[in-house]
């Protein structure tokens, strides 16, 4: 039976976490930089445990004003230190409740930059690897970050998005564009099903672009997040696709 992991970015103060957590299998928890603090991290970990959801770290730029979605000048070394510190913080909090950190998924602008910048990606992947022997990275399908993870021997899952559109090169459409987001739950579910069944995604200019999907993300901060996640789960189950955390 085909299978897929459903992940969601949580602990960011959007107010949907309690509704989203039962619908997903992996939670990417904000680590106090772009959003969140120790209290929200702890609450998110406990909520994930309650629903049998894998806990993941969601490190990003310490830029709350722009929610970590503005690209900032950073060296590979600085990025590695930034990511390492945030993961360690969540690991400490999770350990207090008897949980482990299953995976890491970068947030926002840092995610986008590491997807295209190989040197940055290598240093970040190496930094993640030092946080534990069971470290696992969620990275954009076809990106430099996946290439870097494989170079350093870091296990990696190719991530795709239910609620974002794609360009002809397989990259995400920049959020500055009006067509970057998918808010219609039916369209989002149809995009994911095509990725899983056919291994392609339709780009904004009408091309079918090859893509690999190990885990599917629904952003937790959008007003349509719950509807998209619920519809996606329903359609995957209807299609006979097993929904299970990556590596479980």
In the structure encoding, which two tokens stand for residue 87, read together? 């993961």
Tens digit of each residue's pLDDT (9 = 90 or more) over 138-147: 999 999 999 9
133 confidence band (pLDDT: 50, 70, 90): confident
Q: Residue 5: which residues within 8 A CB-CB, separation 6 or more?
A: 25, 26, 157, 214, 215, 216, 243, 244, 245, 246
Q: State the Cα–Cα distance between residues 45 and 40, nearest whole angstrom.
A: 9
User: Which stretches of the chain are DSSP H helices?
Assistant: 17-20, 38-50, 76-96, 108-116, 118-129, 144-152, 185-198, 225-238
pTM of the model: 0.96
Asked if the model's pLDDT at residue 248 lies above 80, the reply is no
**pLDDT category, 135, cuts 50, 70, 90?**
confident
Per-residue confidence (pLDDT) for residue 134, from 0 to 100: 79
63 pLDDT higher than 90? yes
Contact 120, 80 (CB under 8 A): no
Please write the tens of the pLDDT for every residue from 82-105. Answer: 999 999 999 999 999 999 999 999
The arithmetic mean of pLDDT across residues 60-78, rounded, is 97
* pLDDT tens-place string over residues 218-241: 999 989 999 999 999 999 999 999
- Residue 115 pLDDT grade (very low, low, confident, very high; cuts 50, 70, 90): very high
Mean pLDDT of the chain: 97
Residue 179 has pLDDT above 70, yes or no: yes
How far is the C-alpha of 114 from the C-alpha of 120, rounded, in Å? 6
3.40.640.10, 3.20.20.370, 3.40.605.10, 3.30.1360.120: CATH of 3-243 = 3.20.20.370
Q: Where are the domains of the chain?
A: 3-243
Q: How confident is residue 1, by pLDDT bands cut at 50, 70 and 90?
A: low
């Amino acid at each position: 039976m085909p299978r897929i992991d459903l992940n969601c970015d949580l602990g960011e103060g959007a107010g949907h976490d309690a509704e989203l957590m039962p619908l997903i299998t992996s939670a990417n928890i904000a680590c106090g930089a772009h959003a969140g603090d120790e209290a929200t991290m702890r609450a998110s970990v406990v909520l994930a445990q309650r629903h049998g959801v894998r806990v993941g770290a969601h490190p990003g730029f310490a830029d709350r004003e722009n929610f970590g979605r503005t690209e900032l000048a950073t060296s590979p070394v600085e990025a590695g230190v930034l990511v390492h510190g945030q993961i360690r913080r969540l690991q400490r909090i999770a350990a207090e409740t008897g949980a482990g950190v299953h995976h890491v998924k970068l947030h926002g602008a840092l995610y986008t930059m590491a997807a295209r910048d190989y040197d940055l990606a290598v240093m970040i992947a190496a930094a993640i690897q030092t946080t534990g022997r069971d470290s696992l990275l969620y990275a954009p399908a076809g990106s430099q970050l996946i290439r870097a993870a494989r170079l350093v021997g870091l296990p990696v899952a190719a991530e795709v998005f239910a609620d974002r559109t794609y360009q002809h090169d397989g990259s995400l459409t920049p959020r500055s564009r009006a067509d970057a987001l998918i808010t219609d739950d039916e369209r989002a579910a149809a995009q994911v099903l095509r990725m899983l069944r056919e291994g392609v995604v339709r780009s904004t200019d009408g091309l079918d672009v090859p893509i690999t999907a190990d885990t599917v993300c629904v952003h937790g901060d959008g007003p349509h997040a719950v509807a998209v996640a619920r519809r996606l789960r329903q359609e995957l189950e209807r299609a006979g696709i097993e929904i299970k955390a990556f590596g479980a």
